[in-house]
Structure 1
Amino acid sequence: MTPQLSEFPLFDTHCHADFDTFEQTIALDKGIEGYVKEAKQAQVDKLLIPSIGQSNWRKLDEIAQSHPNVYYALGFHPYFLEQAEDEQFLELRQLLSSRTSQCVAIGECGLDFFVDVDRDKQERFFIQQMELAKAFELPLIIHERKSYNRLIELIKQHKFTLGGVIHGFSGSEQQALAWIKLGFYIGVGGTITYPRAQKTRTTIAKLPLECLVLETDAPDMPMHGNQGNVNHSKHLVTILNELILLRNETKQSVAAQMWQNSHRAFGICE
């Protein structure tokens, strides 16, 4: 798929540009340098990279130091919790204490009841990350799969009010509005480019525009027509264009609102 170009600046609020996948898939430049360059050529001016665990916390900090347009989040992804230890929260707290302005959230965290990872451990780590987010006044980037009710319950129980983004949303309008009521933005990704994803497409078409942000989840979640290939932030405009079609609003108004929302969600100055 040849990347389309955007007429407006875009912000990919969720990509894993640090993954080794991109060392082999970028033709001209390898690794993060090539990734950022290709994204920029497609008008994706800013990126946010969530961590998956201790294995890439320091790597993301190093990337951000070299790229002022790259932001990041620190946390424990529920999918990778089997190797995680409670003692690692000490290092996470230390990194958050010395963080720069480019560390803008806790995440990617959450609950994934589809994978075979102990649920008690998932909940324990999520609760601890909520508490860290409160201590450092940071939003959350939440991964949710088959766990909507429990996540809502925990967030209310622990009185978390700093909001964040529900990554890769594919639920109902009722669920989306519940998240929005709790102060969260809805992450809109490649799912809406699939004609068969009618529930998600219909929901996204109805939600308040000021509560949406765009994301690719690269290298995962490729767009319709690009299945089986590595996803990339340079394809973000494909999601923008589909969102415009779904909502029947002008490209300029939608693009401008997405840019504004992305900054507001993470407390970033435009």
Structure 2
Amino acid sequence: MHPLIDAHCHLDFPDFDADREAVVERARAVGVSHFVVPGTTRERWPDVLALGKRDDVGVCLGLHPYFMDQHGEQDLAALETALDEHPEVVAVGECGIDARFADTLEAQWRLFDAQLRLARDRRLPVVIHCVRANDRVARRLRQLALPAGGLIHAFAGSPEQATAFLELGFVVGLGGAVTFDRAQRLRRAVAALPDEGYVLETDSPDMPLAGHRGERNEPARVAEVCRAVAELRGQSPQAVAAASSATARRLFGL
């Protein structure tokens, strides 16, 4: 099997404190050679950066829309400083819009916009969390024309929405959602993607795969995601692993 890359996993989360090394070893055993770990809150950045000292980890720093109550006034300035002080950071993120939380939506957009500008000014890709907001986010990205593109993490949209993101220089992240039979629209999108249009990811410890509900997700499962994507695309797992890993390396400069 061609080496796999888990292009989005939260290995810094406390969920892994008890057995992080064993989790990494299990992933290695199924062919995962690299992990991309995004930051979610300022408080978590030191743990993310510590992981980034490993040869097999690429790190991103950002302020996630899910944790609006944890972001303070100074956090954007702190992000700017951190990006300047840590040239090893491969992307800005995880940032974005989660439209399930209407009460914070306005604040989410302000925070997202500011992070998009940081990415644009530094020519860094962005890692975008986009829930129930694909069309609005695509419209904003079109206006800003980011030079290094980025990743639409945990993509769950239509073939048309996928195409819109690809045309803007982005790739889509495919994870546990593709393993559910009911995700018919997403599965059609997966089948129609060009070979260079996607990366594989787990979003560990979240987004468990079909058949693993209620379990902690972990990067080793990216091998199962690979097999599911291969089946949907009528390709070999080997071909999907090679294509997705090449795209992840290109996107993040790994």
Counterpart among 123, 139, 148 of residue 162 in structure 1: 148
Counterpart among 189, 213, 218 of residue 232 in structure 1: 218
Residue ranges of structure 2 left out of the alignment (5+ in a row): none
State the distance in 2 between where 1:18 and 1:42 align. Answer: 21
Say yes or no: does 1:16 pair with 2:2: no
State the distance in 2 between where 1:205 and 1:117 align. Answer: 36
Which 10-residue stretch deviates more, 108-117 or 234-243? Answer: 108-117
Give the CA RMSD over aligned residues: 1.4
State the distance in 1 between where 2:138 and 2:4 align. Answer: 30
Structure 1 residue 116, shift from structure 2 partner: 4.8
Matched residue SS, 1:209? coil
Counterpart among 32, 37, 41 of residue 44 in structure 1: 32
What is the TM-score normalised by the length of structure 2?
Answer: 0.96
1:67-116 CA-to-partner distances (Å, cap 9, x unmatched) read 11111110110000122123212211111112143x10000000111025
Counterpart among 80, 90, 98 of residue 77 in structure 2: 90
1:35-58 CA-to-partner distances (Å, cap 9, x unmatched) read 322221221110001111101111
Per the alignment, residue 78 of structure 1 pairs with 65
Structure 1 residue 171, shift from structure 2 partner: 0.5
What is the TM-score normalised by the length of structure 1?
Answer: 0.90
Matched residue SS, 2:205? coil
Which 10-residue stretch deviates more, 164-173 or 37-46? Answer: 37-46
**Number of paired residues?**
254
Per the alignment, residue 97 of structure 2 pairs with 111
Say yes or no: does 1:55 pair with 2:49: no
Say yes or no: does 1:218 pair with 2:204: yes
State the distance in 1 between where 2:248 and 2:145 align. Answer: 24
Q: 1:148 to 1:251 in 2, by over 3 A?
A: closer
Structure 1 residue 243, shift from structure 2 partner: 1.0
The code of the aligned residue for 1:48 comes to V
State the distance in 2 between where 1:260 and 1:158 align. Answer: 26
- Give identity over the alignment, percent: 35
- The aligned runs of 1:90-239 (5 Å cut-off) are 90-101=77-88, 103-239=89-225
Which 10-residue stretch deviates more, 111-120 or 225-234? Answer: 111-120
State the distance in 2 between where 1:72 and 1:258 align. Answer: 18
Contact 1:79 1:117 in 2 (8 A): no
Structure 1 residue 211, shift from structure 2 partner: 0.6
State the distance in 2 between where 1:241 and 1:159 align. Answer: 34
Matched residue SS, 2:199? strand
State the distance in 2 between where 1:263 and 1:168 align. Answer: 18
Counterpart among 236, 246, 268 of residue 232 in structure 2: 246
Residue ranges of structure 1 left out of the alignment (5+ in a row): 1-6, 25-29
